Amino acid sequence: MVYKQLVRRTLFRFGGGDPEVAHERTMTVLRRVAAMPPVLSALRARYGVVAPRTVFGVHFPNPVGLAAGMDKDGVALPAWPALGFGFVEVGTVTRHAQPGNDRPRLFRLPDSEAVINRMGFNNRGAQALADRLDRLGPLPVPLGISLGKSKVTPVERAVEDYRHSMRVLGRHGDYFAVNISSPNTSGLRSLQDRAALNELLAGIQEENADNRPLLVKIAPDLTDSAIGELLEVCGEHEISGVIATNTTLSRDGLAASDRAKAEETGGLSGRPLAARALEVVRLVHKETGGRLPIIGVGGIFDPDSAQRMIDAGADLVQVYTGFIYEGPGLIRKINRSLR
C-alpha cells in the first residue's frame, strides 16, 4: 500500500511522467543500495522468502525471478536478491555496445496496467558486462544472461554475434537466454524460423564450453504450429528450456483510455499479455510432454496469476511490469503463496 500511494506515485511523476526517467532514477537508487550491506540485510529480512526449486540442474532459492530488461547492464545485481527475487536475468546484452532506439521509447498504459517499449537492446555490450561481473563476483541467487543481436549486425551474420557474446560471458551465467523474439530489433524475429534457428543454436552450443543451460525466449505472436516447429529445433539441439513469453505486438485487452498510447510501436507487456502467455505455456507443456522446463512470464501481478502460470506448466516465473506497478511486496506475496 505504501508503495502504491507514495513510491509509485512519486516515480510516475519523474521527468514530467517520462517512464524512462523513472527507470533511470530507480536504477540509480538500487545501484547505491547494492553497495550498502546493512541496507541489503534489512531488505532481505523484509522481503526474502525461501521456497527452493531445482530446474535444469540449477538450484533456485525461490521460483520468482526478475525478467530481462530491468537491469540490462547488471549495475544493481546485489539489490535484486535482497528484494526477494530467487534469480535475476540481465540484458538483453549484445556483442556491440549500442544506445538503442530514439527516445521516447517507453510508455505506460496505467489503466491497463501495461507498458509498451521499443528500447532496442540499449546496453554497454558483452565485454562491459563480463568486466562488471568479474569485479562483482558470485551472487547468492542464479544469474541468467539474455543474449541478443546487435543492431549493426546484419541478420545473415547474427550467429557470430551471439557466439561472440557467449564466448565472452559463458563463465558468468548460471543459464543463458537466446532472445530471438523482441519486436524492437529489425529482422530479429526471423531467427525463430526453423533454418535460421537451427544454425543459431548450433553455433551458440559450440561456444557453450561449460555446458551451461541454454533457453530460448519465444514470442507470443507465433502461431501454434510455428511454436511446435521451434520446439522441435530446440529438442534437436538439447536446449534446456524456454522462456514464454516475450512482449507482444497485439493491442488486445487494453482499456479505452489507453488507446491513444496503444498506437505507439513496440512490444506490449503487462496484464493484457497474461492470457496469451498462459496459452503459450500450456502449449509448450503439452507439446513436450512436460519434459522441457518453462519459465513463464507475462501479466503476473499477484499470487493467483503466478499460480495459474505454474498450473499451466511453468517451473519458474518472472516478473517485470508487475513489479513496476505493484512493487517489491509482490515478490514476497508470490513466494509465500507458492511455498
Provide the annotated binding site for FMN. Answer: 68-72, 92, 146, 179, 217, 245, 270, 299, 320-321
pLDDT at 92: 97
Tell me the residue range of the domain where 121 lies. 2-338
Q: What angle do CA 50, 129, 192 make, to 5 degrees?
A: 85
Q: Hey, what's the cell of 337? A: 503463496
Rg (CA), the chain: 18
pTM, entire model: 0.95
Q: Strand pairing partners for 109?
A: 114
The values of phi and psi at residue 146, to 5°, are: -90, 125
Provide the annotated binding site for substrate. Answer: 72, 117-121, 179, 184, 246-247
pLDDT exceeds 70 at position 125 = yes
Q: Provide the mean pLDDT of the chain.
A: 95
Per-residue pLDDT tens over the stretch 11-33: 777 656 799 999 999 999 999 99
Question: Which CATH number characterizes residue 294's domain?
Answer: 3.20.20.70
Give catalytic residues, as residue numbers. 182
CA distance linking residue 135 with residue 139, whole number of Å: 12
Distances 250 to 119, 221, 229, 324 between C-alpha atoms, Å: 17, 8, 22, 21
Q: Hey, what's the cell of 322? A: 508487475
Residue 188 binned pLDDT confidence (cut-offs 50, 70, 90): confident
pLDDT at 5: 60
pLDDT at 74: 98
Average pLDDT over residues 53-57: 97
> DSSP alpha helices (H): ranges in 7-110?
8-11, 14-17, 19-33, 37-47, 79-82
pLDDT exceeds 80 at position 7 = no
> Beta strands 87-93 and 175-179: pairing type?
unpaired
Provide the annotated binding site. Answer: 68-72, 92, 117-121, 146, 179, 184, 217, 245-247, 270, 299, 320-321
6 vs 186: which has the higher pLDDT: 186
Measured N-to-C along each axis, helices 274-287 and 224-236 cross at an angle, to the nearest 10 degrees, of: 50
Residue 192 binned pLDDT confidence (cut-offs 50, 70, 90): confident
Q: How many domains does the chain have?
A: 1
